[in-house]
Structure 1
Amino acid sequence: MSQNDEKQQLNNRLDKCRHKLEAAQKRADKAMIFQFETEIKQISKKLAQMNHKDSFDLNKERKALLAMPFIRELTKAEQADQGSLKKSVKGLIIVHPITKIGKQLNLEVMTGFSPIEF
């Protein structure tokens, strides 16, 4: 199971537990209230850990890209023929502004990051 699927599943469980907790509080069922509160805490903790790991990995990737010596925007012609561009420049990484890493880098246009000049 992918990490996004696991996050979605945990969010669904968290939502169900919150609704069940609300119902248990209306009934004043102390045992069920305690059970759902502990489950909510566990699920929230797991989600927080997953989100922290995601942000850590994203920040690590961002730093690696910014450490590359050659960074420049791609022209329209290069964007149209990315395959030949990637073949001609070894180690080229192209980042789109809509992706997570693109948003993290505050990119406006498609940008290439490379260890060699291109």
Structure 2
Amino acid sequence: MNRKQELQTINNKLDKLRRRLEKAKLEHNQAVMVNIKWELDQLTKQKAEISGQQARHNSSKAEKIKAMAFNRVLSKAEQADMGKLKKTVRGLVVVHPMTALGKEMKLSEVTGFAPKKF
């Protein structure tokens, strides 16, 4: 299971546990509340660990991409015909600002990174 799926399953479990905790509070069931709080703590720690791994992975990938010799913003025409552009420019890496990598790199527009000028 990849990190993204793992985070999603943990978030789902956390959501279910929070609902169970609210129900236990309404019923004033202390034993169940203690168990649920313990599980919530464990899952929260696990979620933080996976998020940290994901952030480290993204930052190392961003460093490799930033180390490329050339980068520039791609025009709308280039974005429309990405296949042709990737065939003409060997080693091109395109980063969209709305992806996790794009947010990590703090991009505002679709940017291409390549070893040579294009």
TM above 0.5, yes or no, is yes
2:17 corresponds to:
17
Q: Normalization by structure 2: what TM-score? A: 0.85
Matches within 5 A, 1:80-91: 80-91=80-91
Query: Could you say what the CA RMSD is over the residues aligned between the two structures, in angstroms?
Result: 1.8
Unaligned runs of 5+ in 1: none
**1:13 to partner: Cα distance:** 1.3
**Contact residue 3 and residue 54 of structure 2 kept, 8 A:** no
Unaligned runs of 5+ in 2: none
Cα distance in 2, alignment partners of residues 108 and 34 from structure 1:
46
Q: Secondary structure at 2:71's aligned position in 1?
A: strand
**1:93 to partner: Cα distance:** 0.3
Q: Normalization by structure 1: what TM-score? A: 0.85
**1:41 to partner: Cα distance:** 0.8
Cα distance in 2, alignment partners of residues 60 and 45 from structure 1:
23
**1:21 to partner: Cα distance:** 2.2
Cα distance in 2, alignment partners of residues 60 and 81 from structure 1:
29
**1:33 to partner: Cα distance:** 2.0
**1:31 to partner: Cα distance:** 2.3
Cα distance in 1, alignment partners of residues 31 and 75 from structure 2:
63
Is 1:31 the counterpart of 2:37 in the alignment? no
Task: Quickly say closer, same or farther: Cα 1:93–1:30, change in 2 above 3 A.
Answer: same
**Structure 2 counterpart of 1:12, which letter?**
N
Cα distance in 2, alignment partners of residues 15 and 41 from structure 1:
13
Which shifted more, 21-30 or 6-15? 21-30
Q: Secondary structure at 1:108's aligned position in 2?
A: coil
**Structure 1 counterpart of 2:86, which letter?**
K
Report sequence identity in percent: 40
2:101 corresponds to:
101
Is 1:74 the counterpart of 2:66 in the alignment? no
Cα distance in 1, alignment partners of residues 80 and 19 from structure 2:
50
**Contact residue 73 and residue 112 of structure 2 kept, 8 A:** yes
